[in-house]
Amino acid sequence: MSKNSCKNHSFLRMVLVSVLLFLLFCPLFVVKTKVFVLQGYVETEKPIDMVFNIFSSETNKKISTLFHKRIEKSGFFEVEMRENKLFGFHVNLQTEADHVRLSQFVLIGSKKLPLSFENADYEEELDKVITDDASSVDLKINQEYTSIKFKDVSLPRAKRVYHLTPFVIFCFLPLLWHFLPVCRRKNIKYSFLLFLPLFLLVLQKYFAFQHSYTLYYQTVSLVNLWHLEQYEFMIFASVYALLGGALYFPWRWIRIISVIGLIVLMIVLTIDGVVLHNLNARFIFSEAKNYTSEYKTAFYMLLSYLGTMQGRLMILCWLSVWGIFYYRCFLLTFYHRIIIWGMVIFFGIFAFWCRQSFLYDYAFYNVFDANQGAEQKRLYSADFVTQLQQSFDLKENCVKGLNKRKNVIVILAESLSTFSSQKLSGLHNYMPRLDKLMDKYAVYPQYYSNSYYTVGGVFSLISGMPPINGFEGMNIGSSYQPFYDNSVAQRLNQADYKTYFFTAVEPDKTLSDVIYQSHFDEVSDYRDSYYRGKPKLFFNAVADEYLFVNVLQRIENYHERSPYLMVVSTISGHGPYLDPRTKKPSFEKTTDYVDAEIEKFVNQLEKQGFFENGMVLITGDHRAMLPVSAEEDERLSPLAEGRVPLVVIDKEIRGEKTNIYSHNDIAPSLQYYLTDKGCFNAFQNNLFNDTSRYTCMLYQKPSPRNKVAVVCASGMSVICLNGDDTGYCEGNNEQKYVEFINYLRLQSSVQK
């Protein structure tokens, strides 16, 4: 047989092997996405933002996804909406134009469905003219936003779209290696080392996906992983770029810099994995200093991470990188350089080219994207500040209070979450004792924290204001002084109350500012003499049982005539969720411990006769920093990540209170219930008056830091912090919430 014939047979074998590999692993390389495509024509004089709220259930209560389209000028548009089945959707329009014309709306799934504007629902105040054939509508918009609801638009099947993932290159490696010179093929076995870091990082992110991204997708699938790839592949490209620099650059100093950069990148990725696993958040560089002294906490978090599949894969990724350096003598070939730099360029282009307009993108940010938040730091212009000061006034309306003059204890339990309650969520039975208290006393099923972290939760409860990020991030320290002067402690001090704050932790500077500037008569923290010699867990704090005993002793020894307020902030429920009884990590067991200690504390108060003239409020500082399951998202929508319980134990208050409430309602509500007056601003509700007006609540998003959720009974919208251009970027609501946020940020930060 001739040499050319052998070569041709060899080539054909390589082609056959590549095709068989592709067919064998087709599910890994071909991603099928189910989408609906909306096409239409828009006539507008000014740019228009269109946000599509997709309903995937017949009840139309569950908004599963949000998609965005910005139209700069008149013309046809098209938007893909990833959903398996559609029962209806809203089209929210935001524009400065006075007149907009919409026409020829067609929804495409397995077939085309022209949409009728005659059957759509419009906002009542919207002026509209619909054509005879109902294929177009002229809208006269008298406000910055409006909403159109299309209902009963379900199609038999969604349109199927197929994507090839970058991993398809693995199938055709045999074919590519065929072109290597014969003398180089003996080193082919070492080429797998080049792909090992990428492969391990992909697996690591896939398992991380199982843990942290179920808030935004019903199931873990390759379709969903596709969206994650769009952000994480820049990280993979960086790994290969640094590997290439360390292996192939002729200049020694560049190789050293590349090695150092690779080590730093791997460390950052590891820390990000630890934080993502334990706290359901991304590693924010500026917050690293908060944990520098908490070696024990960091150690337990690391152990918890290494106990997962993604943690073990990260270790293998570390080893594979250093294995490449060990075998570098086998890799110094021209063809390996081509492979390395080809993959770097491919992944780099892929990372930017394939991103789509998906409004939950922040859930998939890599660690570097999550640290940007450039819009958050944009300052306001002088003219804007002057105009806001003239147009916005956060005045309070004072009403006659009930003047109950009771002693009151507020338990702010660390990470106490609604999803842990069988009664409130139907998901888990982690706190059965608290559920029993809900049956006997008052419970608030639609209750929220205003923030995702402890300092923000404490601040909103004490000050009555949502903790919106300032220009430099979470800077709710001394610059919020005007709000501290109107804190719950100050309100009750003016009514001759004695006020106390109890915690067992060693607070950082920001938390210390919040507590010590809020005008409490006395603050007890980790330095309290009662805690000497008691075992410490983390944050230099004792377990909750010692904190509650300390509070009980103070109550027993209280002999003053003035009534008192005691805010008790616990710590045992904090991640990494170590059960103080067994010292083993378990969120369920830790929550059970917290639940048991709260019940024990309430029983002791009852034995002391506290409830003859006293009340207890039990809530959480924020939801636990754990993943939000798809079922939780559906049952506790529209903002499951902000839901915490509130139970009020008082002989005069019973039943469920169905309004939306949050931490910033507690300060004025206690003033109303306990004293002769209650002063509320336009963004606060009264916990103890069911006839009070309805208002929405604000929730500071964890990532990106420039987004604030506005949660109402009708749904949720999002405001993006962007200096003068701060406004709604998802959904729509009243402009007063934008003005309120601008006011808070201008009060809390000094512009540079």
User: pLDDT value at position 121?
Assistant: 84
Q: How confident is the model at residue 175 (pLDDT cuts 50, 70, 90)?
A: low
User: pLDDT value at position 64?
Assistant: 43
Residues 661 and 530 in one domain: yes
Query: Does the pLDDT value for residue 177 go beyond 50?
Result: yes
Q: 88 lies in which domain range?
A: 34-160
Question: pTM, whole model, 2 decimals?
Answer: 0.66
Residues 317 and 422 in one domain: no
Residues 92 and 156 in one domain: yes
Chain segment 685-713, per-residue pLDDT in tens: 999 987 666 679 999 988 777 889 999 88
Residues 335 and 222 in one domain: yes
Residue 597 in contact with residue 532, Cβ under 8 Å?
no
Task: Report d(CA 628, CA 640) in Å as an integer.
Answer: 7
- Does residue 157 or residue 462 have the better pLDDT? 462
For residue 522, give the CATH number of its domain.
3.40.720.10
Residues 299 and 190 in one domain: yes
Average pLDDT estimate for 174-195: 52
CA-nearest of 486, 444, 471, 483 to 671 is 486
User: pLDDT value at position 728?
Assistant: 93
Query: Does the pLDDT value for residue 381 go beyond 50?
Result: yes
User: pLDDT value at position 174?
Assistant: 61
Token readout for 510 is 């920001």
Residues 119 and 234 in one domain: no
Chain segment 69-105, per-residue pLDDT in tens: 778 888 898 887 767 677 778 787 877 788 889 999 9
Residues whose CB is less than 8 angstroms from the CB of residue 301 and which lie 6 or more positions away in sequence, other chains included: 274, 275, 277, 278, 575, 576
User: pLDDT value at position 183?
Assistant: 44
Task: Point out the least confidently predicted range of 109-123, 170-184, 738-752.
Answer: 170-184
Share of the chain above pLDDT 70, in %: 67
User: pLDDT value at position 719?
Assistant: 94
Task: Report d(CA 564, CA 521) in Å as an integer.
Answer: 10
For all residues of the chain together, what is the average pLDDT? 78
Residues 532 and 434 in one domain: yes
CA-nearest of 429, 417, 366 to 627 is 417
Average pLDDT estimate for 710-733: 89
Number of domains in the chain: 3
Out of 303, 335, 370, a domain closes at 370
Place of tokens 């389209």: 69
Q: What is the largest CA-CA distance in the chain?
A: 109
> Has residue 28 been placed in a domain?
no
Instruction: Write down the H helix ranges in 133-187.
Output: 173-177
> Has residue 598 been placed in a domain?
yes
Chain segment 32-78, per-residue pLDDT in tens: 667 788 899 999 888 887 877 776 655 444 444 556 677 888 889 88
Residues whose CB is less than 8 angstroms from the CB of residue 187 and which lie 6 or more positions away in sequence, other chains included: 330, 331, 333
Q: Which amino acid is at 363?
A: A
User: pLDDT value at position 492?
Assistant: 96
> Has residue 591 been placed in a domain?
yes
- Does residue 281 or residue 546 have the better pLDDT? 546
User: pLDDT value at position 5?
Assistant: 47
> Has residue 166 been placed in a domain?
no
Per-residue DSSP letters for 501-541?
A: EEE-S---HHHHHHHHTTT-SEEE-TT-GGGTTS---STT-
Task: Report d(CA 371, CA 462) in Å as an integer.
Answer: 29
Out of 695, 711, 743, a domain closes at 695
Q: How confident is the model at residue 357 (pLDDT cuts 50, 70, 90)?
A: very low
> Has residue 8 been placed in a domain?
no
CA-nearest of 54, 138, 125, 129 to 734 is 125
Q: How confident is the model at residue 671 (pLDDT cuts 50, 70, 90)?
A: very high
Residues 140 and 184 in one domain: no
> Has residue 748 been placed in a domain?
no
